[in-house]
Structure 1
Amino acid sequence: MRTLFRPCIDLHQGQVKQIVGGTLSDSSAGLQTNFVSAKPSAEYAELYRKHGLEGGHVIMLGPGNEAAAREALQAWPNRLQVGGGINDTNAAEWIERGAAKVIVTSYLFPSGKFSQQRLEALAAQVGRERVVVDLSCRRRSEGGWVVAMDRWQRLTDMVVDEQTLKKLAEFCSEFLVHAADVEGLCGGIDRELVECLGKWSPLPVTYAGGASSVDDLDLVDRLSRGRVDLTIGSALDIFGGSMVRFHDCVAWNRRTELASEHT
């Protein structure tokens, strides 16, 4: 098992963007945007399809993104995951629209408190294998991390630790973890979080936040012992970045997959 590069399509107001995660809120005041694409979401999905990059996540950051999300899913049906506003009333519909899996966060935390009942109901509705639990989080002053909801602005009552991951794993097939404190800053990954996720998670995990070099793929691989995949956003050249070439990430995956075939 080795770390893979996992692609993303972040949508805000119907456009593909890269945003400093910690600045997202209900208003546009204070929002820091690293990149706004002139290309439609479907073009990115087609690029990922061309290079066989499965398991990427399409995240709807607020309202006005459904059409763009549908276009991405239609460009590569049953290979991309979708998240942002997923709940019991629309999860099955997004699967029908072509999502391989649905990514859920805020729905699981009514009034900021985790609802086991809601998670079990969602898993029963679309199948455990179709559910990704988003444990995007912020650091606590006393140490460790707490799951953040509503575009990472509100802290919940759920601590990210080994016990939590094992409990949730019964009702989902994968975890997605944005380190909200470093998301979009290109200042380096949260090494401690990546290492802990590699130790704690019984399921596949994709980590996002702070990646600034193609060497971060090797770093995540070493820290997690190959058990955590990495998403690179703002640093990537296809999102206006200058630190990481998309084709280098594709080459990493190909080398990793070839090595796996020979072991």
Structure 2
Amino acid sequence: MAPSRRRSLFRPCIDLHDGEVKQIVGGTLYEDDASRMKTNFVASHPASYYAALYKEHNLEGGHVIKLGPGNDDAAKEALAAWPGHLQIGGGVTADNAREWLDAGASKVIVTSYLFPDGRFSLDRLRAVCAAVGKDRLVVDVSCRRRDDRWLVAMNKWQTITDMEVCEESLDALAEYCSEFLVHAADVEGLCQGIDEELVQKLGEWVTIPTTYAGGAKSVSDLELVDRLSKGKVDLTFGRQATLALTWGW
């Protein structure tokens, strides 16, 4: 009998903006104009509440993303609620990555630090890998679509970098990290469906654990991600533990 293949899993998340747990439409998070930001959901509970809920229901593999300044305290409270089980991203560099592990993060997630002036720096990737080790590093290759390609986007997904998300680039990055996180920024927060083509391509390309985020609207999207990626890509939702517990994952 052939062994059963891996199946895609639900991964929880906590997105923080101004210290609050929010679901933001990804393409509206502008650095210089907060009035243009669109928010679908603002939680009534603090980040630590959701972290404790994930702990209670053993929802592993989740991440905390700091979207801009003013989120460090909330992030540390979430990590303290379930130390060693949540990843942290947002403003992570080679200089502060170890501090976040000491604060309770299981892994650190890095994006913008790797792209000074929008250009990929292998030296910076090596530096942060040396600071925390490959096993505790996640590279965020969140991206925006340009014609028939996906390009890594940084600075709250507003700055397009020189790196294309493709098999070649993912293979190169995988030498220095243990996971990928991929937000499809063009559909992030819209709850109108995932980027099916991107998920399928990720299933073909990735060789290490990978979590996709962006556009998921119902439990059927997890089944869709599983089918499209052949179980190689996991899925995260932005409405935090409410959906996870409702659907019994």
User: What is the TM-score of this pair, normalised by structure 2?
Assistant: 0.95
Give the whole-Å Cα distance in 1 for the aligned partners of 2:221 and 2:40: 20
Structure 2 counterpart of 1:241 = none
Say whether 1:193 aligns with 2:191.
Answer: no
Residues 42-85 of structure 1, C-alpha deviation per residue, up to 9 Å, x if partnerless? 00000100111111010000000000000000000010000000
> Which runs of structure 2 are paired with 1:199-210 in the superposition (5 Å)?
199-210=204-215
Give the whole-Å Cα distance in 2 for the aligned partners of 1:186 and 1:101: 27
Give the whole-Å Cα distance in 2 for the aligned partners of 1:153 and 1:138: 9
Say whether 1:246 aligns with 2:229.
Answer: no
Verify the 8 A CA contact 1:214 1:248 in the aligned structure 2: no
Question: What 5-or-longer segments of structure 1 have no aligned partner?
Answer: 239-244, 252-263
Verify the 8 A CA contact 1:57 1:81 in the aligned structure 2: yes
Q: Which amino acid aligns with 2:149?
A: G
Say whether 1:29 aligns with 2:35.
Answer: yes
Q: 2:236 aligns with which of 224, 231, 235?
A: 231
Give the whole-Å Cα distance in 2 for the aligned partners of 1:86 and 1:10: 15
Corresponding residue pairs, total:
243
- Structure 1 range deviating more: 195-204 or 26-35: 26-35
Verify the 8 A CA contact 1:6 1:229 in the aligned structure 2: yes
Structure 2 counterpart of 1:174 = 179
Give the whole-Å Cα distance in 2 for the aligned partners of 1:93 and 1:250: 34
Q: Which amino acid aligns with 1:57?
A: H
Identity of aligned residues (%): 62
Structure 2 counterpart of 1:113 = 119
Cα displacement (A) at 1:250: 3.6
> Which runs of structure 2 are paired with 1:1-263 in the superposition (5 Å)?
1-26=6-31, 27-141=33-147, 143-234=148-239, 238=242, 245-251=243-249
Verify the 8 A CA contact 2:54 2:241 in the aligned structure 1: no
Q: Which amino acid aligns with 1:109?
A: F
Cα displacement (A) at 1:232: 1.1
Change over 3 Å in CA distance of 1:43–1:237 after alignment to 2: closer
Give the whole-Å Cα distance in 2 for the aligned partners of 1:225 and 1:249: 22
Give the whole-Å Cα distance in 1 for the aligned partners of 2:35 and 2:85: 35
Verify the 8 A CA contact 2:12 2:241 in the aligned structure 1: no
Residues 80-135 of structure 1, C-alpha deviation per residue, up to 9 Å, x if partnerless? 00000000111000000000000000000000000001001111111000100000
SS of residue in 2 equivalent to 1:171: coil
Question: What 5-or-longer segments of structure 2 have no aligned partner?
Answer: 1-5
Q: Which amino acid aligns with 2:92?
A: I
Cα displacement (A) at 1:144: 1.4
Give the whole-Å Cα distance in 2 for the aligned partners of 1:209 and 1:85: 21
Give the whole-Å Cα distance in 2 for the aligned partners of 1:111 and 1:190: 27
Cα displacement (A) at 1:247: 2.4
Verify the 8 A CA contact 1:5 1:249 in the aligned structure 2: no
SS of residue in 1 equivalent to 2:41: strand
Cα displacement (A) at 1:197: 0.4
Q: Which amino acid aligns with 1:34?
A: N
Give the whole-Å Cα distance in 1 for the aligned partners of 2:136 and 2:142: 18
